[in-house]
A and B are shown apart, each in its own frame.
Chain A
Amino acid sequence: MQWETVIGLEIHTQLATKSKIFSGASTAYGAEPNTQACIVDLGFPGVLPVLNERAVDMALKFGVAVGAEIASRSVFARKNYFYPDLPKGYQISQFELPIVGRGSLAIDLEDGSRKVIGITRAHLEEDAGKSLHEDFHGMSGIDLNRTGTPLLEIVSEPDMRSIKEAVTYARKIHQLVVYLGICDGNMQEGSFRIDANLSIRPFGQEAFGTRTELKNINSFRFMERALNFERERQIDLIEGGGKVLQETRLYDADRDETRSMRSKEEADDYRYFPDPDLLPVEIADQRLQSVKLSMPELPDQKRRRFESAYSLSPADALMLTQSRQQADFFEKVVGNGVDAKMAASWVTVELAGALNKVGLELPQSPVTAERLGGLLRRIADNTISGKLAKQVFEAMWNGEGDADQVIEAKGLKQITDSAQIETIIDKIIADNPKQVEQFRAGKEKLLGFFVGQVMKQTQGKANPGRVNRILLGKLKG
């Protein structure tokens, strides 16, 4: 039987606020355990939460970006359960009235078509701490630094019909929240965590199959592997005459498998109720308007602009706008008055390659946008050839100054003086009578040999256009 996959995602994005959602403690990652948890985070007797309005603004930005309904009044609720890394014994979340309602996000499919994925809701909540089960000899360690870090949980409709679509959607949400500046997107540090609901059904069947929920997915690679494993597991189960149980399963990346955490029957009753310590969040029109005005250009808008304003190919525009950093970098390079296509190629190929090789991110690039622009300008004005440009780039990468300084220091300035080139060519023609004869007899590919000779004698500095023109004139003449 042919099985269709149905997937919906719940994505937890840590919002990039400086302090926590209900306290003034820092959200910075990687501090010594329990050094960034204040009495509010620790749930001491008598403490009270105070909402960080920056987290609300960030949620609003996301809502606007996905064209969602923004609730003029949303309510924080308590989700009650006991766990040692949950100090208050409840998590402050939003339940019945989330801040962001229905919205959608379009994804690009491989065949070039677009598909709109429905977003059910997005709500604000606080993160829990971490339980550390290793290194404590039969006990567990608790690190409460993460407690109270603001999360925006983005819940999609079960609109994805393949694992590829699900990964594409997750990547697009990732790109969007990073673009919006509301999440640092660091999956290794847990800033972007994915829970996936997956079910299968025979093609053509309308009713959904029984779903399982996969937790603990913290990379796109794992996501693909986890979903593949789970899809196969469900198919094997059903084809073997079994039934899928509604349950929560944990993906174990080391073993590349999913295993059961708890079934629906064991599911906790969280006893949600409105948190009496917090007032409902009221969003005035004025506030929403000012969020709308402060919205950055979104990936799709930027891509379309790059195509039209810079006459870039759709592929180049897509590549450049993958990240806001790269797009901004590109625009700075182009701002130096250089050709957009050449800039696109240098940013996405040469520079990206160099960064990738040493594992650096764009903001740490030793070659700034201004300097790369300076280099490309020297190609455009024929000061150096494209070939030598790579050598200059390397020197710049190694900190030997800007393009002009490197060209000067290494004497790489292109020879554009026709008389000088002619003298060299005359000598080469005189020294190679046999090749001249063969060329004139019709073996025109020997032109490359002569160009090579010129470049050899000029250490590659001769302007290739001129060399070609003068050579052809002399050989044919």
Chain B
Amino acid sequence: MHSKSIVELGAALRAGEFSSVELTRHFIQRIERLDGDLNTLITTTPEQALVEAESADQAVKAGRAGVLTGIPIVQKDIFCTRGVKTSCGSKMLDSFISPYDATVVERLRQAGVVCLGKTNMDEFAMGSSNETSFYGPVRNPWDRERVPGGSSGGSAAAVAARLAVAATGTDTGGSIRQPAALCGVTGLKPTYGRVSRFGMIAFASSLDQAGPMTRNAEDAALLLQAMAGFDPKDSTCANEAVPDYSSTLEDSLEGLKIGLPREYFDAGLDPAVATSVEAAIEVYKRLGARVIDISLPNSGLAVPTYYVVAPAECSSNLSRFDGVRFGYRCKEPKDLEDLYKRSRGEGFGAEVKRRIMIGAYVLSAGYYDAYYLKAQKTRHLISDDFKQAFERVDVIMGPTTPTTAFGLGEKMDDPVTMYLNDIYTIATNLAGLPGISLPVEPVKGLPVGLQIIGNYFTEAKILNAAHRFQQETEWHRLKPDLSKQS
């Protein structure tokens, strides 16, 4: 039951094969049994989930059920959820009960999903391994000594371990696609502005974007359908029509022009991962696609640009966590300065503090032009690379990550090596483009992701490309053997 997709489970629910309450109970039991070790969830909400499941069952009986009605999912703990702890993976918000729902939460609830809980994540979404979480690292279900990726590591691992049918994630520099790749699930980062950011705790406002993490592209289309669309509460949310993503999944790929950027197949790419990705490209060729070598010459600027832009924005976004109105407050502050220094010093973890300091530095008088302004210019160069590429090709493909999942603790002392794990995903955030990661042939039992990048607002196209691949292959159906103890 737990390995079925949204499409399969939705059909079974509507056919009366089992109820949403039964399905929900099943997942609650799985979580109780398996999550103690995997640590994918920060908060579980079983009572609430069963209430939602009951009303979903009523909707089914009344013939009002939609495609997502009664489907148990988990939400990344970055989305504000009314009446539920919303921690963002931080001690700072360990006591924070949100008084309101994020637009994503509200829309999915309206679509009838059942929420089982809130997933673990890197603190304030800052990290690529889920090791910066205040709640401890998530273990990769494929090998518990390895990281699941981050920052949406809890979401990716929960879907991979079949603790939920699907999950939401957010992606600022690869935080959906990278953990999706390392955990063997399908993860889509939409075009910037496709999904409302209202109620999603901000890391880097000009890069953050929410998206679905699922078993396959077909499910991602359904989840995105419910999440996407204009929201008057987010000024950066696009007032652009949302197409029916499911209706074009089966379109033929005959003549599809796939660009392979040579910079994404460089020396930093693990040869075994390269082999898997190249094998996937061969599948597309069989499906009638045409492969074109392209260049994204400014790719090398993506990581340094990102590590100016994202910290700059986060240093300002995280100023509100000051111990005054909500969240962590230090014990017995002497005065205002002490309150600020200790609340923030004790409430934030090391990686968050590192990025706040970098951000404050690049925005400060005398350094602004050399760093922040320069980064805005290189960001334009990176966008222009893609713009030129999309004049020649329909989609761009390459590896999602340079390697498979690395070991827990392996890169924690070396932030720059950690940052390089997002080398292939960061540029799309800087350009605001949509990208999807889907499982291809594993390497030594560890999942590998193929990344498909589309032009602005062409989520339908990359979902179509991903779905056709998944019709030809079984990689997305592989599941980790959870009986193997580490």
**Interface on A for B, CB 8 Å cutoff?**
39, 42-51, 78, 80, 82, 84, 87-90, 142, 269, 271-273, 276-279
Which B residues lie within 8 Å of A276 (CB)? 204-206, 236, 313
User: Does the CB pair A43–B320 fall under 8 Å?
Assistant: yes
Task: Report which of B80, B319, B324 forms a contact with A46, defined as CB distance below 8 A.
Answer: B80
Q: Does B325 contact A (CB under 8 A)?
A: yes
Q: How far is the CA of A78 from the CA of B99 in the complex (A)?
A: 26
Nearest 5 Cβ contacts at the A-B interface: A89-B319, A271-B363, A276-B205, A276-B206, A46-B199
Which B residues lie within 8 Å of A272 (CB)? 363
User: Does the CB pair A88–B320 fall under 8 Å?
Assistant: yes
Q: Which B236-253 residues have a C-beta within 8 angstroms of A?
A: 236
User: Does the CB pair B236–A279 fall under 8 Å?
Assistant: yes
Query: B100 to chain A: closest CB distance in Å?
Result: 6
Given the interface contacts A80-B319, A88-B319, A279-B236, does A273 sit within 8 Å of B200 by beta carbon? no
Which A residues lie within 8 Å of B80 (CB)? 44-46
User: Does the CB pair B316–A278 fall under 8 Å?
Assistant: no
A-B contact pairs, 30 of them (CB 8 A): A39-B100, A43-B320, A44-B100, A45-B86, A45-B93, A45-B201, A46-B80, A46-B199, A46-B202, A48-B234, A48-B235, A50-B232, A80-B315, A80-B363, A82-B340, A84-B322, A87-B325, A88-B319, A89-B318, A271-B363, A271-B364, A272-B363, A273-B368, A273-B372, A276-B204, A276-B236, A277-B205, A277-B236, A278-B236, A279-B236
Given the interface contacts A87-B325, A89-B322, does A45 sit within 8 Å of B96 by beta carbon? yes
Which A residues lie within 8 Å of B232 (CB)? 50
Which A residues lie within 8 Å of B100 (CB)? 39, 44
Which A residues lie within 8 Å of B234 (CB)? 48, 50
Which A residues lie within 8 Å of B200 (CB)? 46
Query: A2 to chain B: closest CB distance in Å?
Result: 38
User: Does the CB pair A269–B364 fall under 8 Å?
Assistant: yes
Given the interface contacts A84-B336, A278-B235, does A269 sit within 8 Å of B365 by beta carbon? yes
User: Does the CB pair B235–A87 fall under 8 Å?
Assistant: no
Which A residues lie within 8 Å of B327 (CB)? 45
Most central of B88, B198, B235, B363 by chain A CB within 10 Å: B235
Query: A392 to chain B: closest CB distance in Å?
Result: 57
Q: How far is the CA of A142 from the CA of B234 in the complex (A)?
A: 28
Query: A39 to chain B: closest CB distance in Å?
Result: 6
Which B residues lie within 8 Å of A269 (CB)? 364-365
User: Does the CB pair A82–B322 fall under 8 Å?
Assistant: yes
Q: How far is the CA of A42 from the CA of B96 in the complex (A)?
A: 14
Residue of A with least CB distance to B318: A89
Q: How far is the CA of A273 from the CA of B374 in the complex (A)?
A: 13
Q: Which B408-454 residues have a C-beta within 8 angstroms of A?
A: none
User: Does the CB pair A45–B88 fall under 8 Å?
Assistant: yes
User: Does the CB pair A271–B316 fall under 8 Å?
Assistant: yes
Which B residues lie within 8 Å of A84 (CB)? 322, 324, 336
Give how many B residues have a beta carbon under 8 Å from the other chain's beta carbons.
45
User: Does the CB pair B364–A89 fall under 8 Å?
Assistant: no
Residue of A with least CB distance to B78: A46
Which A residues lie within 8 Å of B468 (CB)? none
User: Does the CB pair B235–A89 fall under 8 Å?
Assistant: no
Query: B83 to chain A: closest CB distance in Å?
Result: 14
Residue of B with least CB distance to A22: B235
Given the interface contacts A46-B80, A48-B197, does A89 sit within 8 Å of B316 by beta carbon? yes
Q: Does B58 contact A (CB under 8 A)?
A: no
Query: A115 to chain B: closest CB distance in Å?
Result: 36
**Interface on B for A, CB 8 Å cutoff?**
79-80, 86, 88, 93, 96, 98-100, 102, 197-202, 204-206, 232-236, 312-313, 315-316, 318-322, 324-327, 336, 340, 360, 363-365, 368, 372
Given A80-B316, A273-B316, A279-B236, 19 further pairs, Cβ under 8 A = A39-B99, A43-B320, A45-B88, A46-B86, A48-B197, A48-B236, A50-B232, A50-B233, A80-B363, A82-B340, A84-B322, A84-B336, A88-B319, A90-B316, A142-B324, A271-B316, A271-B365, A273-B372, A277-B202
Query: A299 to chain B: closest CB distance in Å?
Result: 36
Query: B323 to chain A: closest CB distance in Å?
Result: 10
Q: How far is the CA of A354 from the CA of B318 in the complex (A)?
A: 57
User: Does the CB pair A47–B319 fall under 8 Å?
Assistant: no
Which B residues lie within 8 Å of A45 (CB)? 80, 86, 88, 93, 96, 98, 201-202, 320-321, 326-327
Q: How far is the CA of A271 from the CA of B100 in the complex (A)?
A: 31
Q: How far is the CA of A39 from the CA of B326 in the complex (A)?
A: 11
Which A residues lie within 8 Å of B205 (CB)? 276-277
Which A residues lie within 8 Å of B320 (CB)? 43-45, 87-89
Query: B380 to chain A: closest CB distance in Å?
Result: 14
Query: B240 to chain A: closest CB distance in Å?
Result: 14
User: Does the CB pair A49–B316 fall under 8 Å?
Assistant: no
Which B residues lie within 8 Å of A142 (CB)? 324
Query: B313 to chain A: closest CB distance in Å?
Result: 6
User: Does the CB pair B235–A277 fall under 8 Å?
Assistant: yes
Task: Report which of A39, A49, A90, A273 forms a contact with B319, defined as CB distance below 8 A.
Answer: A90
Which B residues lie within 8 Å of A50 (CB)? 232-235
Most central of B201, B232, B316, B365 by chain A CB within 10 Å: B316
Which B residues lie within 8 Å of A90 (CB)? 316, 319
Which B residues lie within 8 Å of A88 (CB)? 319-320
Which B residues lie within 8 Å of A279 (CB)? 235-236
Residue of A with least CB distance to B100: A39
Which B residues lie within 8 Å of A89 (CB)? 316, 318-320, 322
Residue of A with least CB distance to B92: A45
Which B residues lie within 8 Å of A42 (CB)? 325
Query: A9 to chain B: closest CB distance in Å?
Result: 25
Q: How far is the CA of A278 from the CA of B206 in the complex (A)?
A: 10
Query: B405 to chain A: closest CB distance in Å?
Result: 30
Given the interface contacts A45-B88, A82-B322, A279-B235, does A271 sit within 8 Å of B93 by beta carbon? no
Which A residues lie within 8 Å of B79 (CB)? 46
Task: Report which of A43, A87, A271, A277 forms a contact with B360, defined as CB distance below 8 A.
Answer: A271
Q: How far is the CA of A279 from the CA of B235 in the complex (A)?
A: 7
Q: How far is the CA of A327 from the CA of B86 in the complex (A)?
A: 57
Which A residues lie within 8 Å of B316 (CB)? 78, 80, 89-90, 271, 273
Which B residues lie within 8 Å of A87 (CB)? 320, 324-325
Which A residues lie within 8 Å of B202 (CB)? 45-46, 277
Which A residues lie within 8 Å of B360 (CB)? 271
Q: How far is the CA of A42 from the CA of B198 in the complex (A)?
A: 15
Which A residues lie within 8 Å of B99 (CB)? 39, 44
Query: B76 to chain A: closest CB distance in Å?
Result: 12
Most central of B79, B233, B340 by chain A CB within 10 Å: B233
Given the interface contacts A46-B201, A82-B322, A89-B320, does A273 sit within 8 Å of B235 by beta carbon? no
Which A residues lie within 8 Å of B363 (CB)? 80, 271-273
Q: How far is the CA of A254 from the CA of B375 in the complex (A)?
A: 50
Which B residues lie within 8 Å of A49 (CB)? 235
Which A residues lie within 8 Å of B204 (CB)? 276
Which A residues lie within 8 Å of B326 (CB)? 44-45
Given the interface contacts A87-B320, A90-B319, A278-B235, does A46 sit within 8 Å of B313 by beta carbon? no
Which A residues lie within 8 Å of B233 (CB)? 48, 50
Q: How far is the CA of A278 from the CA of B235 in the complex (A)?
A: 6
Q: How far is the CA of A279 from the CA of B193 in the complex (A)?
A: 12
Q: How far is the CA of A90 from the CA of B99 in the complex (A)?
A: 22
Given the interface contacts A50-B235, A88-B319, does A43 sit within 8 Å of B325 by beta carbon? yes
Which A residues lie within 8 Å of B365 (CB)? 269, 271
Residue of B with least CB distance to A37: B325
Q: How far is the CA of A47 from the CA of B235 in the complex (A)?
A: 11
Q: How far is the CA of A367 from the CA of B165 in the complex (A)?
A: 74
User: Does the CB pair B198–A47 fall under 8 Å?
Assistant: yes
Query: B90 to chain A: closest CB distance in Å?
Result: 10
Query: A292 to chain B: closest CB distance in Å?
Result: 26
Query: A197 to chain B: closest CB distance in Å?
Result: 20
Given the interface contacts A43-B320, A45-B86, A46-B201, does A273 sit within 8 Å of B312 by beta carbon? yes
User: Does the CB pair A48–B372 fall under 8 Å?
Assistant: no
Which B residues lie within 8 Å of A78 (CB)? 316
